[in-house]
């Protein structure tokens, strides 16, 4: 038993991402078509060249017909996958493994979500019939419980943690302001953010990901075929998907200051990619900042910061756009927006732009000899989570 990974066996040769936000004028069909056509164009393929599709969506529709119908694709395998907020990354993993297996030559993974048609702010999971004992709190509330737990564990003031969280939001707003596809493009200062009214625990609306519509897609082929499509492919170095057993919400040993599923998936992905010093090796990271405390914890769980120090390093600017390790240079879920099924592929899209030098000048990460990017996408809640980590790179070997 092992997680061997598929290092350097598959490459991304085309990507696309729609603008994210309140797309009142576009339905899920149109978003899917826009993302698919963008990916075809990016890779220089047409739909007839694609052998199979994986569609990631949390709750915008069901079955492969969701993709085949608007794109008018007949007779191809289309798989609709769902794994909470990591559905897009899961779709990518399925497509990459299918190509690596030799089953297909060209596969497309596409993530899409239409959240803004629900009539409610925030995201709402569709109700599964139950005995009524399942909890009824928002995701914001679940993640807000990190704040008192983190402050308690490390003996720091809640106000220190809040300051670091505001710093995360401010950074992501800054990065998003430089991104024409982002939902929120307004700078927010730490002072402005600290003054916002609280909606869940210590969190304000500005600590939460943008609720957005959007779609993103990737075309994947075998690595040896990559240069038939592009001079600058992005090679898959490692893909890890880890699902916890939900024990954190039933086991008193879990303390709400870490996500064990993330630690496990990061270690697995680093091992697959041969990375021993993530902070020193990665050019950038896109992480799942669904709420600002999540990004703080992720800095520790992904091995970027020592335990109990992320809050301080965040305040010191270590993960700023011009910092030692830029995190969420595209604005993250916070500013780019979080159309659930699309987010995992949106993260890879930023790696695609940055590592290939195509990001707009204003938000380019510092030039270095580093050629690797990490994307991290999670779903669920502290204590019961699914976590995905990918390592992508421009160089073979």
Partner 1 sequence: MAVVRGITACGAYLPYRRLDLREVAAVCGGGGRKGFRSVASFDEDTTTMAVEAARAALGSVEHVDLGSLWYTTVAPPYFDRTNANTIHAALRLARTTPAYDVLGSVRSGFGSLRAALASPGSALAIGSDLRVGLPGGPDEAYFGDGAGAVAFGDSSDAPVLAEIVAWYAVADEFVDRWRSPGDFRSKVWEERLGDVLYTDAGMAALEGALKQAGLDTAGVDRVVVTGTHGRAVKSVIARAGIAVDAVADELATQIGITGAAHPYLLLAAALQKASPDEIIALVGLADGAEVIIVRTTAALAEHRPARPVAQQLAGGAPLPYGRYLSWRGLLSLEPPRRPEPARVSASAASRSVDWKFGLVGSRSAGGTVSMPPAIGDPERQSMADAIGTIKTFTVDRLSYTPSPPLVFAVVDFDEGGRLPVELTDVDASQVGVGDRVEMVFRRLSSADGIQNYFWKARPLRERNI
Interaction between residue 141 and partner 1 (CB under 8 A): yes
User: Which residue, 147 or 236, is less far from partner 1 as judged by CB?
Assistant: 147
Instruction: Kindly write out the interface string for residues 93-122 of this chain, putting x where it contacts partner 1 by CB under 8 A and - elsewhere.
Output: ---------------------------xxx
Interaction between residue 344 and partner 1 (CB under 8 A): no
- Per DSSP, which regions of 18-103 are E strands? 52-56, 78-81
CA distance readout (Å), 258 to 11, 34, 152, 337 = 32, 37, 13, 24
CA dist 270 and 82 (Å) reads 24
Interaction between residue 199 and partner 1 (CB under 8 A): yes
Interaction between residue 129 and partner 1 (CB under 8 A): yes
SS3 label, residue 55: strand
How many of the other CB atoms lie within 10 Å of CB of 323? 16
Q: Which of 33, 52, 67, 140 forms a contact with partner 1 (CB under 8 A)?
A: 140
CA dist 397 and 390 (Å) reads 16
Which of the residues 150 through 189 are near partner 1 (CB under 8 A)? Answer: 152
Interaction between residue 195 and partner 1 (CB under 8 A): no
Judged by CB under 8 A, which stretch of 131-139, 223-231, 269-277, 301-309 contacts partner 1? 131-139
Q: Which of 255, 308, 315, 371 forms a contact with partner 1 (CB under 8 A)?
A: 255
Query: What is the set of active-site residues?
Result: 85, 338
Smallest distance, Å, CB 191 to partner 1? 22
Q: Are 217 and 108 in contact (CB under 8 A)?
A: yes
Q: Which of 2, 135, 157, 368 forms a contact with partner 1 (CB under 8 A)?
A: 135
- Per DSSP, which regions of the chain are E strands? 10-17, 52-56, 78-81, 106-113, 198-200, 203-204, 214-222, 234-243, 282-286, 372-381, 384-393
SS3 label, residue 96: helix
Interaction between residue 292 and partner 1 (CB under 8 A): no
Site of interaction with partner 1 (CB under 8 A): 120-122, 124, 127, 129-133, 135-138, 140-142, 144-146, 148-149, 152, 198-201, 249-252, 254-256, 383
């Amino acid at each position: 038993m092992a997680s061997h990974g598929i290092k350097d066996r598959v490459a991304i040769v085309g990507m696309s991402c729609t603008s994210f936000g309140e797309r009142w004028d576009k339905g899920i069909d149109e978003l899917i078509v826009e993302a698919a056509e963008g990916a075809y164009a990016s890779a220089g393929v047409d739909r007839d060249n694609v052998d199979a599709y994986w569609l990631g969506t949390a709750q915008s529709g069901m079955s492969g017909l969701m993709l085949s119908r608007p794109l008018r694709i007949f007779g191809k395998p289309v798989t609709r996958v769902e794994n909470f907020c990591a559905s897009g990354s899961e779709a990518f993993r399925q497509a990459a493994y299918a190509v690596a297996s030799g089953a297909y030559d060209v596969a497309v993974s596409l993530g899409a979500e239409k959240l803004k048609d629900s009539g409610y702010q925030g995201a709402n999971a569709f109700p599964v019939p139950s005995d009524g004992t399942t909890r009824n709190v928002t995701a914001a509330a679940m993640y807000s419980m990190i704040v008192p737990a983190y402050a308690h564990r490390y003996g720091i003031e809640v106000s220190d943690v809040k300051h670091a969280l505001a710093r995360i939001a401010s950074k992501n707003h800054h990065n998003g302001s430089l991104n024409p596809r982002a939902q929120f493009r307004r700078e927010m200062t730490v002072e402005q953010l600290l003054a916002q009214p609280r909606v869940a625990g210590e969190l304000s609306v500005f600590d939460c990901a943008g609720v957005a519509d959007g779609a993103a897609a990737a075309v994947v082929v075998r690595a040896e075929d990559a240069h038939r499509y592009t001079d600058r492919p992005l090679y898959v170095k490692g893909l890890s998907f880890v699902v916890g057993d939900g024990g954190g919400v039933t086991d008193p040993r879990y303390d709400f200051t870490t996500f064990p599923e993330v630690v496990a998936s990061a270690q697995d992905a680093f091992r697959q990619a041969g990375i021993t010093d993530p902070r020193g090796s990665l050019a950038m990271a896109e992480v799942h900042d669904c709420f600002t405390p999540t990004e703080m914890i992720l800095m520790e769980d992904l091995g970027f910061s020592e335990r109990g120090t992320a809050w301080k390093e965040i305040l010191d600017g270590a993960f700023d756009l011009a910092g030692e390790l830029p995190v969420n240079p595209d604005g993250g879920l916070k500013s780019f927006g979080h159309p659930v099924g699309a987010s995992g592929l949106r993260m890879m899209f930023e790696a695609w732009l940055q590592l290939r030098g195509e990001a707009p000048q204003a938000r380019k990460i510092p030039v270095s000899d580093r050629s690797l990017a990490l994307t991290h996408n999670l779903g669920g809640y502290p204590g019961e989570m699914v976590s995905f980590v990918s390592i992508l790179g421009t160089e073979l070997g």
